[in-house]
């Protein structure tokens, strides 16, 4: 497939020529909006069942969050509601390269959350107790045990939470490889193909309208990442979702200081398959105020309180851009989705210098290491930082899977498997009730999981 990252390319922000589809199918059993890890995994699982599936991606496969993330595949520290799906996702990751016949860079080298003090170390124990209920191998390591996982770290943490069975994969490889596998199973994977909206007949979905024409279908999945709220709003579905910008770097190959993933107060760092490190600032997240901030602010108050220390709030061009975006548009004219093929925010320079500085403080062997590339990604999040997976009653045939809130890469394959079952009327094998959209409107307490 041409419109994905070439195998040998490590860049996270590749944007080669955008190949638009020569033709689009007249009809499909299922149409998926969005070529991130959730969309392509669903397409892959559907294609394995022989379902005629078409995926429409306005830009490139994994061009947004799914190609720009840290690459952590972790169970550790997750909200309990996500754990069954995540544990299933781990099973998929373990066999994924073999199933796809392509490398995705998956390695199980463990995940560490270093404690900044004894109090935090004691708090980690609470999650370890949760892990026990799910038969996970999470444990609290004391200082001496932690030292065996790090080579030459200069920080004197009192200990860490550790899950040996957590892993990492290469974002620039995973979703494109899954998309290629779906395509080999006869899925239509269309890039450069924005979906403008849907059409209804006899009270249910009858077609999607793309920039290249109409595809008849009775089943649509909106897996549009940061664009889901806007898409749903055009259908009169209120979906609380906000965005924060995360800044990330990757280094050239360097000394072996760590085999897996480490999160501490200042940085999140993981070893890469190419011998370098993917490193991010742990306490700088940028939120540009937009009309959506006001629209959903009350629902986001608990999350805002929790992330307050890390959030850098600003107001600028983004406010005007969203303000000027119409709520609905004619489906025979270009839509806002065509106007921004790839959400490609600029990295935060302050975060970049913080990453360089802190990496050197924590791992002196990495001091001054060359940064090969820096980028940013827009993380979309829900008020309780848990995804929304739902089939709104107002539009029979329309389904939503979004809001993976900064940790959807790891759970993506598991979500795809559950969604493929949901869309074909089969048992997803996982309780999807906790992910229903109505939880934000029916008086349920909105409680983002505290912690990391
Ligand atoms: C900086 C950063 C670090 C992260 N780190 C991690 C991590 O270490 N581990 C982890 O598990 N998760 C991480 N995440 C989160 C993870 O990347 C996301 O949760 C996950 O990739 C979401 O996948 P998705 O398929 O839902 O959305 P996306 O990958 O955003 O894909 C949605 C796609 O839909 C397309 N689209 C939107 N509207 C339309 C339309 N109308 N027509 C056609 N196409 C459309 C978009 O172009 C986009 O490509 C991180 C995210 C970021 C940004």
- Cα–Cα dist 256/369, whole Å: 12
Backbone angles phi, psi at 317, to 5 degrees: -55, -35
Q: For residue 302, is pLDDT > 80?
A: yes
Distance 73 CA to ligand 1 centre (A): 14
**The model's pTM:** 0.96
- Label residue 359 by pLDDT band (50, 70, 90): very high
Answer yes or no: is pLDDT of 42 > 90. Answer: yes
Residue 404 in contact with ligand 1 by CB distance below 6 A? yes
User: DSSP letters of 28-53?
Assistant: -SEEEE--SHHHHHHHHHHHHTT--E
Confidence class for position 14, pLDDT limits 50, 70, 90 = low
Task: Say yes or no: CB of residue 4 within 6 Å of ligand 1.
Answer: no
Q: Average of pLDDT values for 371-395?
A: 96
Closest ligand 1 atom, residue 59 Cα: 47
| Residue 356 C-alpha from the chain's centroid | 25
Give the span between the Cα atoms of 440 and 146, in whole angstroms: 40
Distance CA 178, CA 61 (A): 10
Among protein residues, the one with the nearest Cα to ligand 1's atom 33 is: 34
Higher-confidence residue of 22 and 15: namely 22
Distance of CA 141 from the midpoint of ligand 1 (Å): 32
Query: Using CA positions, which residue lies closest to atom 34 of ligand 1?
Result: 34
Who's near 91: CB < 8 A, 6+ residues apart?
Answer: none
pLDDT tens-digit series, residues 119-138:
999 999 999 999 999 999 99
Atom of ligand 1 nearest to the CA of 72: 8
Closest CA to 319 of 342, 295, 285, 351: 295
Q: How far is the CA of 38 from the centre of ligand 1 (A)?
A: 8
Mark residue 85 as left, alpha or beta (left: phi above 0; alpha: psi -120 to 50; beta: remaining).
alpha
Is residue 318 pLDDT above 60, yes or no?
Answer: yes
Helix 171-184 to helix 408-423 angle (10° resolution) is: 20
> Across the chain, what does the average pLDDT equal?
93
Q: What is the mean pLDDT of residues 198-203?
A: 97
Q: Which atom of ligand 1 is nearest to the CA of 341?
A: 47
Task: Measure Cα distances from 246 to 70, 334, 347, 382 in Å.
Answer: 10, 29, 8, 16
pLDDT at 5: 42
Phi-psi region at 329: left, alpha or beta (left = phi > 0; alpha = psi -120 to 50): beta
The whole-number pLDDT of residue 201 equals 97
DSSP per residue over 362-394, as a string? H-GGGTTPPEEEEEEEEEEE-TTSS-EEE--TT
Instruction: Answer yes or no: is the C-beta of 250 below 6 A from any ligand 1 atom.
Output: no
Query: What is residue 311's predicted lDDT score, i.e. its pLDDT?
Result: 85
The span from the CA of 17 to the CA of 437, in Å, is 37
Whether 171 lines ligand 1, by a CB cut-off of 6 Å, is no
Confidence (pLDDT) at 310: 81
| CB of 369 sitting under 6 A from ligand 1 | no
Q: How far is the CA of 143 from the centre of ligand 1 (A)?
A: 36
Stretch among 6-20, 54-68, 335-349, 421-435 having the lowest mean pLDDT: 6-20
pLDDT band at 374 (very low <50, low <70, confident <90, very high): very high
Lowest mean pLDDT among 99-108, 131-140, 270-279, 297-306: 297-306
Give me ligand 1 centre to Cα 35, in Å: 9
- With the most atoms of ligand 1 within 8 angstroms of its CB, the residue from 409, 414, 418 to mutate is 409
Which one-letter DSSP state was computed for residue 307? H
Report which ligand 1 atom has the smallest distance to the Cα of 410: 11
User: What average pLDDT does this structure show over 179-191?
Assistant: 96
pLDDT tens column, 79-121: 999 999 999 999 999 999 999 999 999 999 999 999 999 999 9
| CB 246 near ligand 1, within 6 Å | yes
Sign of CA dihedral 182, 187, 193, 194: negative
pLDDT at 180 over 50: yes
Q: Which residues of 23-59 are buried (b: 16+ CB within 10 A; e: fewer)?
A: ebbeebbbbbbbbbbbbbbbbbbbbeeebbbbbbbbb
pLDDT class of 18 with cuts at 50, 70, 90: confident
pLDDT band at 327 (very low <50, low <70, confident <90, very high): very high
Q: pLDDT above 90 covers what percent of the chain?
A: 89
409 lines ligand 1 (CB under 6 A): yes
Ligand 1 pocket residue status of 403, Cβ below 6 Å? no
**Of 42, 79, 224, best ligand 1 pocket probe by most atoms within 8 Å of the beta carbon:** 224
- Tokens 């020529």, residue? 17
Find the range with the poorest average confidence among 12-21, 141-150, 180-189, 409-418: 12-21
Determine the average pLDDT of the residues in 439-452. Answer: 81
Tell me if 295 sits within 8 A of 242, measured CB to CB: no
State in Å: Cα 134 to ligand 1 middle. 27
Nearest atom in ligand 1 to 247's CA: 1
Instruction: Work out which ligand 1 atom sits closest to the CA atom of 270.
Output: 8
What confidence tens digit (pLDDT) does each residue in 401-425 have?
A: 999 999 999 999 999 999 999 999 9
């Amino acid at each position: 497939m041409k419109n994905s990252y070439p195998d040998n390319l490590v860049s996270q922000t590749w944007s080669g020529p955008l190949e638009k589809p020569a033709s689009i199918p007249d009809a499909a059993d299922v149409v998926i909006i969005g070529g991130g890890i959730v969309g392509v995994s669903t397409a892959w699982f559907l294609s394995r069942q022989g379902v005629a599936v078409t995926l429409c991606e306005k830009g490139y496969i994994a061009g947004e969050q799914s190609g720009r993330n840290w690459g952590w595949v972790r169970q550790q520290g997750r909200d309990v509601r996500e754990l069954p799906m995540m544990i299933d996702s781990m099973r998929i990751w373990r066999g994924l390269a073999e199933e796809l016949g392509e490398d995705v860079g998956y390695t199980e080298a463990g995940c560490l959350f270093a404690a900044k003090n004894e109090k935090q170390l004691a708090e980690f124990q609470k999650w370890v107790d949760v892990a026990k209920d799910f038969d996970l191998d999470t444990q609290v390591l004391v200082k001496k045990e932690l030292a065996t996982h790090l080579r030459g770290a200069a920080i004197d943490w009192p200990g860490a939470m550790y899950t040996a069975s957590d892993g990492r994969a290469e974002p620039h490889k995973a979703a494109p490889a899954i998309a290629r596998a779906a395509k080999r199973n006869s899925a239509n994977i269309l890039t450069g193909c924005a979906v403008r909206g849907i059409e209804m007949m006899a009270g249910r979905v009858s077609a999607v309208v793309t920039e290249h024409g109409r595809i008849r279908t009775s089943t649509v999945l909106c897996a549009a990442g940061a664009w889901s709220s806007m898409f749903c709003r055009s259908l009169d579905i209120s979906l609380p979702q906000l965005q924060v910008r995360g800044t990330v770097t990757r280094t050239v190959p360097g000394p072996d200081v760590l085999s897996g993933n480490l999160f501490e107060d200042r940085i999140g760092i993981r070893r890469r398959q190419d011998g370098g490190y993917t490193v991010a600032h742990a306490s700088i997240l940028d939120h540009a105020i937009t009309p959506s901030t006001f629209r959903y602010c009350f629902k986001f108050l608990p999350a805002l309180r929790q992330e307050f220390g890390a959030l850098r709030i600003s107001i600028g061009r983004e406010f005007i851009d969203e303000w000027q975006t119409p709520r609905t548009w004619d489906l025979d004219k270009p839509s806002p989705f065509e106007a921004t093929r790839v959400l490609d925010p600029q990295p935060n320079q302050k975060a970049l210098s913080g990453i360089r500085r802190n990496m050197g403080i924590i791992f002196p062997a990495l001091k001054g290491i060359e940064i090969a590339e820096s980028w940013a990604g827009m993380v979309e999040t829900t008020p309780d930082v848990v995804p929304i997976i739902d089939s709104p009653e107002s539009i029979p045939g329309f389904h939503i899977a979004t809001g993976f809130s900064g940790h959807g890469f790891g759970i993506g394959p598991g979500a795809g498997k559950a969604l493929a079952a949901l869309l074909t009327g089969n048992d997803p094998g996982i309780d999807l009730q906790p992910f229903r959209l109505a939880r934000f409107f029916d008086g349920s307490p909105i409680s983002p999981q505290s912690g990391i």
